[in-house]
Amino acid sequence: MAHSYGLLTLLLIPFTAAPASAAGNEVVPQARWETITPEAAGIDATKIAHLFSLSFDDPATQAVVLIKNGRLVGERYADGFNGESVGTSWSMAKSMYAALIGISIDRGEIGNLDDKVADYIDDYKGGREHISIRHLLDMTSGLAFPEHEHEAMFFGRDHLAYALKVGVEKQPGEVFEYNNVNSMVLGEVLHRATGKPADQLLAERIFDKIGIDKYTLWRDAAGNPMTYCCIDMSARDFSRFGLLFARDGEWEEQKIIPSGFVDETFQQVWSDLPSQTINQLRGYGMHWWVSRNNERAVIFNTSGKFGQYIFVDRANDVVFTRITRYRPTGGSVQNWGAMRVFNWIENVSFLQKLGGFLDRIGLIDLGSDVSTPYTLEDGISNQFFSQYRAIVDALVDISD
C-alpha cells in the first residue's frame, strides 16, 4: 500500500439548452444550475432514461441527478419531492469531512497523512500510538470492531467520548474494517489541528466556496459534529460536492482541495471487498468507495446507509447522485426524546423501523418527540442494491 502523497416525476428538465458552441465546455454552477439537453451534451437521451429507470425501480428512491461538464442534464424525483427537497447523507458525510484533511495539510495545520493520531490527540494511547491519519482514512486503524459495528455510538449522548474510548485490537494497516469510530476520531484530529470544530471547517472551507448554502450538519447531544454521518441537503447540492472532486478540487479557478490530495483519494487501496447490500465486490480508499476501476471506466463514489450515493466519473466530468426518501425531523442537534428507552438495541436499521411503526400508531411523533437523521422504511433501498452492477454499467454507458 505505497502512497506518494507524505418518480415519479421525470424531469429531463424544462431545459434551457446551452448554445451548441458551449455544450462541450466545462462550466461551474452558480446559484442556479445551468441546464442542457442530452443531445447538446453529446449523450443519448435513451441512456439517461435507462439509468433513471433502473434507479426508480426501487421505490425508496427520492431523487437522481445527472451532471455533465458542470451542467444539469437530467433529474427525476419521486412524487411529493422536488429539487429543493433534502435527503440525508448517512455515511456520504465521511467523504466530505475527509476532504478537510487535504485542506489542512495544504495549510500546514497537519503535517501529512502518515502523522500519528496521537500527534494531535495527546491522550490517544493504550496501544493506539501507531495509528496514523492514513489508517483512519483507509479504514485500517485496527480499532476494536464489535458485532454491532459501533452503531451503538449513534444512539449515545456523546459520540466523541465513545469513539475516544475504543481500544485497538489489530495491527494498524493490515485489516480493512468499515468502522464509524475512525471517522469520528478523524473529526477530532481536525478540531485539535485547527482549533475549529469540523462542521465549521466544512461550511467555511468547502460548502461556502462551492455554493452550498442550505444544509444541516448534525451534532450529537453533547455538541460534537457527527463526522461519520448525517448531513442534510438536496441532491443537487450533494452533486456540487461530487463535481468538486471531478474537477480535481478546483472551483471557479480557486483551488479548494489540493489536487494531490484528490489524486491520492482516487487511488484504490483495497479491492474485492464484499458487501452486505450490493451485488458486487468493491474497492476502497481515503473514505471513498470504488464502484468501477478498469480500462473502460474509473468511477469512485461516496456511499451512505440505506442507499445514498454520489458517483464521480472524473475522466468524463460526470456526476450522478442518488438519494432515498427522507423527511427531516427538524433541528440539528440529536435528541432521541421518547425513543431513548430503546437505545440499547444498538441497530440503526431496526430502530428506524421501530420508530416508524411507533409514529404510525401514534405513540410518538417523529416531528416533535425526536430530533435526529431518520430514514423511514419507505426510504430503505432494496432493488437499487440488487441492480447496483447494472446501474454502474448504465452510468458507464453514458460516456460511451
pLDDT digits (tens, 9 = 90+) for 51-96: 999 999 999 999 999 999 999 999 999 999 999 999 999 999 999 9
Q: Which alpha helices (DSSP H) does the chain contain, by range?
A: 45-56, 92-106, 133-137, 159-165, 180-194, 198-205, 235-246, 259-265, 348-360, 383-386, 388-398
97: closest CA among 212, 3, 182, 4? 182
Across residues 272-293, what is the average pLDDT?
Answer: 91
Q: Could you give the percent of the chain with pLDDT greater than 90?
A: 79
β-partners of residue 302 are: 310
- Quickly state the pLDDT bin for 361 (edges 50, 70, 90): low
| Annotation: CATH topology of 9-329+378-398 | Beta-lactamase (3.40.710)
pLDDT band with cut points at 50, 70 and 90 for residue 357: confident
User: Using CA atoms, how far apart are residues 300 and 288, in angstroms rounded to an integer?
Assistant: 7
- What's the pLDDT band for 3 if we cut at 50, 70, 90? very low
Q: What is the pLDDT of residue 23?
A: 42
pLDDT given for residue 8 in this prediction: 34
Amino acid 343: pLDDT: 67
DSSP letter for 117, please: G
- Cα angle for residues 134, 138, 141 (degrees, 5° grid): 75
Phi-psi region of 276 (alpha: psi -120 to 50; beta: other; left: phi over 0): alpha
Q: If you average pLDDT over every residue of the chain, what do you get? A: 91
In this prediction the pTM is 0.90
SS3 per-residue string spanning 337-383: HHHHHHHHHCCHHHHHHHHHHHHHCCCCCCCCCCECCCCCHHHCCCH
| pLDDT given for residue 16 in this prediction | 32
What are the structural domain ranges in the chain?
9-329+378-398, 337-370
Please state the rounded mean pLDDT for residues 123-136: 97
Terminal Cα-to-Cα distance of the chain (whole angstroms) = 32
**C-alpha cell belonging to residue 165:** 474510548
Across the range 243-252, mean pLDDT stands at 98
* Structure confidence at residue 17 as a pLDDT band (50, 70, 90): very low
Q: What is the mean pLDDT of residues 20-48?
A: 85
- Whether the CB-CB separation of 329 and 260 falls below 8 Å is answered with no
Could you please report the per-residue DSSP string of 46-92?
A: HHHHHHHHHHHTSTTEEEEEEEETTEEEEEEE-TT--TT-EEE-TTH
In tens, the pLDDT along 154-172 reads 989 999 999 999 999 999 9
